Structure 1
């Protein structure tokens, strides 16, 4: 049986999961050789502590006031999202961030707030490891590596993505949950091509 992968991204009202909330969540679930896309829109319970800078970056006001925007029922969304992530390996760009916000969200509805596999995978760190690995192969095992073309801390997710041949999200797509989840998925596939699905299904 193939591993259940969940490419995840959240848009939040700030950086602190104890003060702020996820208001948009996207999951691209890869299971049995197919991808399905799922997006959830969660009206924040408390907006008083929202970080204006975070709302500016993810274009909260612009997006939630756009024609056609509709909030999901939080309890129903929690049940659906929990089933998607149950037992899945979560993959993301800094997935520890997304996992903390999701755990706080699930904590209001479930006894076990972290249903996913305990080891999340950060595609940026994975890409940096691949780049160091390539440099090591070129230089020879045990040889001294040249620093010029190697990633340095803190890692640049967009720079590493371009190194892997994956263009980062365009400006109008960046910092949308589904746009960033798709980018995470594409970067994963560039780095780990053996896991690519047979076919891709549309949004559900």
Structure 2
């Protein structure tokens, strides 16, 4: 499996932001539920993928799975509700420790929550813009992760108008939702949109992306963003 952090020089067909624009971070997470992460039995991330695009067009990819021993549930018997959520993302079929060696150290892209949080801080450095399909879902999950691992810098916490560590975040306050971009482009409400139909309408082949796999979902978020704003 590839290393969890890599650098990619995009091809000529990808748009390049001007030097005065902020970095973009296209992201997706797979979680063990939908409940707020701040709730007693709230959702926890088990897979993260991000693609950071610098203003000069260079891209940095991060893709990781969280160690099984940190997930906080019985992998073999997670409970009916949690199992349904895990099945959506193919947890038991895709997590490296379940389909290969059970030893976390044997997989370069299996990391601790703290390591994942530290990488997120690097990826969002410079007040990057968070771009997602439902970015508020990912942003809340990321914020909870950064808060519980106690890695948020003091200046980031202080910069939040509420002065609250749980509300602080290293990315820009305005999130970008690609569904909203598409709705504005084609003139229909977001709740009527079907992912496959949208991709085809934008000239993107849906077969290039596995559904509910964090890295592929990050890629289609990026490609939809480019199709709407880069064309």
Q: Distance in 2 between matches of 1:23 and 1:55?
A: 9
Query: What is the CA-CA distance between 1:174 and the residue it aligns to?
Result: 1.7
1:198 is aligned to none
Query: What is the CA-CA distance between 1:192 and the residue it aligns to?
Result: 1.0
1:23 is aligned to 46
Distance 1:76 1:89, change over 3 A: same
Q: Distance in 1 between matches of 2:72 and 2:121?
A: 22
Give the match's secondary structure for 2:27: strand
1:115 is aligned to 170
Taking the TM superposition and a 5 Å limit, the aligned residue runs for 1:49-198 are 51-64=82-95, 65-67=98-100, 70=107, 71-86=110-125, 87-108=127-148, 109-111=150-152, 112=157, 113-132=168-187, 150-151=188-189, 153-168=191-206, 173-193=210-230
**Among residues 17, 36, 41, which one is paired with 2:65 in the alignment?**
41
Superposed CA offset, 1:138-158 (max 9, x none) = xxxxxxxxxxxx456343333
Q: Distance in 2 between matches of 1:169 and 1:120?
A: 27
Q: Distance in 1 between matches of 2:71 and 2:86?
A: 15
Unpaired runs of 5+ residues, structure 2, are 1-19, 158-167
Q: Give me the TM-score of the superposition, normalised by structure 1.
A: 0.77
Q: Distance in 2 between matches of 1:156 and 1:162?
A: 10
Count of equivalent residues: 176
Q: Distance in 2 between matches of 1:24 and 1:17?
A: 17
Superposed CA offset, 1:24-43 (max 9, x none) = 11110000211121112223
Q: Distance in 1 between matches of 2:122 and 2:177?
A: 22
Q: CA RMSD in A?
A: 2.2
Unpaired runs of 5+ residues, structure 1, are 133-149, 195-204
Give the match's secondary structure for 1:189: helix
Q: Give me the TM-score of the superposition, normalised by structure 2.
A: 0.69
Query: What is the CA-CA distance between 1:170 and the residue it aligns to?
Result: 5.2
Superposed CA offset, 1:87-114 (max 9, x none) = 1111111111111111111111234441
